[in-house]
Amino acid sequence: MIFFKEILKLWKSEDLLSQAWEETSEMLSLSHAMFEEAIFNLRKGVKRKKLIKLKKSDKEINNYQKEVRKKVITHFSVSRNIEDFPSGMVLLSIIIDVERLGDYTKNILDLAINYKEKIISEELLDELREIELIVEKRFKKTLKAINDQSEDKANILLETYENDIALASDKIVNGCISGDLNFKTNQITTVVSLYSRYLKRIGAHLKNITTTITNPYEYIGYKQPSEN
């Protein structure tokens, strides 16, 4: 089994994989900054032009993804070093999740663009604010764990995941559909259900990224089987 700390030894060298790792870290930092600004603007009711401009940050994330892919493929084409193969696969797995973080952040910005009022989660539903806060904290902690290359921090983070965000989000969405949750307008109902679902998906991709630190490649995104 290839673990993250073993892969990092390969990334320390001055080659294309090392450069790809640096760009992946920058890509994740940009995704985090975009997410935080999206939440801030959502709550402040920022003008539509600024929100549209912020959405374009996702193009930078996509460019990073293309560059990382190019460097990983070029590295293997030139070096033909099979021993480096697992590290390249893990790196490609991370950038897929980071790219999806950018996509869901764009979805959140679309809510702010198309809903004319401020979207202050706790004023709509207390449970929605709880999910929002959890995801914000996990984003920061995931970025910290990756940049510190800390398996301990990743394990602590994974212990808190379980299904809390998923269950809470599903409960909100199901309540909106069934009518158990009532809001003043259908528009608010749509905003609450979509926002809770976008946050759920961001949480899921953050978990996938965290597992790249602790799990062998075949279990990235999944819980490892107990060793008995």
Burial of 4 (0-12, 13-18, 19+ CB in 10 A): buried
pTM of the model: 0.86
Separation in Å, CA 113 to CA 31, 53, 108, 211 = 19, 11, 9, 33
What pLDDT score was predicted for residue 219?
65
In the predicted structure, residue 227 carries a pLDDT above the cut 60: no
What pLDDT score was predicted for residue 64?
86
Separation in Å, CA 29 to CA 13, 131, 136, 140 = 22, 21, 13, 9
pLDDT in tens, 156-191: 888 877 667 889 999 999 999 999 999 999 999 999
Report yes or no: 39 and 136 within 8 Å, Cβ to Cβ: yes
Separation CA 43–CA 125 (nearest Å)? 14
Separation CA 17–CA 73 (nearest Å)? 9
Structurally, what CATH architecture does the domain formed by 4-219 represent? Up-down Bundle (1.20)
Task: Decide which of 59 and 81 is more confident.
Answer: 59
Separation CA 139–CA 32 (nearest Å)? 7
Domain extents for the chain? 4-219
In the predicted structure, residue 3 carries a pLDDT above the cut 70: no
What pLDDT score was predicted for residue 128?
96
pLDDT classification of 228: cutoffs 50, 70, 90: very low
| C-beta atoms surrounding 212 within 10 Å | 22
In the predicted structure, residue 81 carries a pLDDT above the cut 70: no
Candidate ranges 24-28, 49-53, 70-74, 223-227; pick with highest mean pLDDT: 24-28
Average pLDDT estimate for 88-105:
89
Q: Interior CA angle at 123 toward 119 and 125, to 5°?
A: 100
Give the distance from CA 80 to its chain's centroid: 31
In the predicted structure, residue 130 carries a pLDDT above the cut 90: yes
Report yes or no: 115 and 124 within 8 Å, Cβ to Cβ: no
**170: which residues sit within 8 A by CB, 6+ positions away?**
200
